[in-house]
Structure 1
Amino acid sequence: MAILILILALVILLAYFLLVNFVGPSMILKPRQKNFLIDGKIISSPSELGLDYENVEIKSFDGVTLKGWLVKAGSNLVGNVIYIHGTYTNKAFGLKRAKFLSEAGYNVLLIDLRYHGESGGSFCTYGYLEKFDVSEWISFLLKRFPDVPIALFGISLGGAVAIQTAGVDNRVCAIIAEGSFANFYDLIFDYHKVKFKFSPKFLINKVLENVERTSGIKVNEISPIEYVKKVSCPVLYIHGKNDETVKPWHSIVLHRYTSNSEILLVEGAGHVNSWEVLGDGYREKIIEFLWKNCNKNKIQ
């Protein structure tokens, strides 16, 4: 019996060691990505949706290759939108949104965040480094279209990155943040609580300590709630009331601390599926918000 207890204790210790040092940090820093499907077909190019585009590429401040698709406005150009995808996804997940934005007169730059899609990078850092990458993309667009305003449209992680970017770069005319988190630690804690029904703080703290050790990021600095206090442009928050991945309180708190914002809480919607619930109302709200706040004809 004593031997069995000893073996069990050793197994538990080994599992703990692997979880906090390898499995946990890897799940956070290296999220596995999904393919994008429309009607069961993997989409690999905007041209498959009839969109005029070009492949674009830049180098980040630390030498990482970042890639994207620049979808051209289908009518008279009124603005630029940088679409920022969520965790586990890539730029292709923004194609359907790019289609209606292009039709409304916006160039749409769909980017792959570092460690996603075709971009390089060793880790996903949840905005710690990505905010500077997006700032480089802003510079890229301003060189191509010097008099055209730029909005950021972020989904889930992308919303948090958009907020952090605008907190350090005032060249943004508007932000749409759908399903964003307010604080990285709370996001990780809630996520594990929902997924595993077990999320002790001491365990999360050890995992995050090793996330910092492995990647060099500072977890307490991944906090959109702090960056949003420095954001001067208008922000539209969208969040599903039934979101279990990123609880609605994240957007509610962000809205409360944003000087110029509005919030759309969608009844019956979960994580970033408000479009499916609202239908045409979703597109109309996005276009109305951008037309008001990111339109070169009105700004000039």
Structure 2
Amino acid sequence: MGRVTKLVIFVAVFVVLTGSVVILALLPYLVTHSVIDGHIDYQTVYDHREWGLEVKPLSLLTEDGYKLASWELEVDEPKAMIIFLGGLNDPPVSAFWGHARVLGELGYGSLLIEMRSHGESSGQQVYLGYAEHLDILAGIQYIWDRYGDVRTIAFGADLGGVAALNAAGLYLGLSGVISIGAFSSWADLFGDNLYFSGAPLLVAVLEKPFVSWYTLTKFGFDRRFLYPKKQITNLGTRPALLMHSEDDRFVSVLNVERIMQSIHGSG
């Protein structure tokens, strides 16, 4: 093989490898940017009056300045308060009015919070769970200001489940957490969906560090541990109920398995 041929092969390999790295590096931005930049309005919302409920509308303010549309189903001397949160694109938090009604009949109060950048709440940036825990903190502070040191549980679906798990890891003021369909980390979810979309497993695995780097540069290095499979290890003896459909097309059941593995690994 001549020197010219070797040089051509070397250049070709270099170009292919460099191009592949560039694509891997840009993909997290191109995909995630379209998901998280901008306000999200739910296509379907539910009226509490359909459930025969009278609720108290609230506006909560987070530590970082977001105004959160919230609604309280009041109960005299509640046994505990449940903070409900909806998902990234679905379900809306108003989907939990049925849960709130049943719990209210059993003596539990409910606070439904529309997360930042969703529905009637302010904001143009979704934080993928890296800051939504502050929305729950605003709810905890409201509850404690009104009811004192009452037991408080965070109950979230999808992104709301991510926020609930992160908040439970950060705030001892939460007595427990319930999560439906939460992802274990954004990098995990990104890699899963890349693989299930037809990409080779190796590509999906190699993509994860680039996704993690993107979220670090986007949301800050100080938030690098704010994802469920890390934060759930901080629960200690507090209870957690994790639910996940095996038929979930957007967040694979692998995510809840990773979260559970983190619990066992920390024990």
Please give the range of the TM-score, normalised by the shorter of the 2 chains. 0.7 to 0.9
Contact 2:87 2:93 in 1 (8 A): no
Structure-2 residue corresponding to 1:277 = none
Q: C-alpha separation between the residues in 1 aligned to 2:186 and 2:68?
A: 23
Structure-2 residue corresponding to 1:97 = 99
Question: Where in structure 2 are the equivalents of 1:1-300 lying within 5 Å?
Answer: 20=27, 23-30=30-37, 32-36=40-44, 42-43=45-46, 45-73=47-75, 77-89=78-90, 90-194=92-196, 196-198=197-199, 200-201=203-204, 209-210=213-214, 212-214=216-218, 216=220, 220-232=224-236, 233-258=238-263
- The residue identity in structure 2 corresponding to 1:28 is V
Contact 2:169 2:235 in 1 (8 A): yes
Deviations 1:168-190, CA, capped at 9 Å, x for gaps? 10011121111222222111221
Structure-1 residue corresponding to 2:7 = none
Q: Which has the larger radius of gyration?
A: 2
Contact 2:136 2:154 in 1 (8 A): no
* CA 1:22–1:87: 2 relative to 1, 3 Å: same
Query: Identity of counterpart residues, as a percentage?
Result: 23
* CA 1:219–1:244: 2 relative to 1, 3 Å: farther
Contact 2:82 2:108 in 1 (8 A): yes
* CA 1:230–1:207: 2 relative to 1, 3 Å: closer
Report the alpha carbon displacement of residue 29 of structure 1 after superposing the two structures with TM: 1.3
- The gaps in structure 2 that reach 5 residues or longer are 1-18
- The residue identity in structure 2 corresponding to 1:223 is Y
Normalising by structure 2, we get a TM-score of 0.76
Q: C-alpha separation between the residues in 1 aligned to 2:220 and 2:149?
A: 37
- The residue identity in structure 1 corresponding to 2:164 is A
Aligned CA-pair RMSD: 3.2
- The gaps in structure 1 that reach 5 residues or longer are 1-11, 37-41, 260-300
* Partner SS for 1:100: helix
* Partner SS for 1:221: coil
* Partner SS for 2:122: coil
* CA 1:175–1:254: 2 relative to 1, 3 Å: same
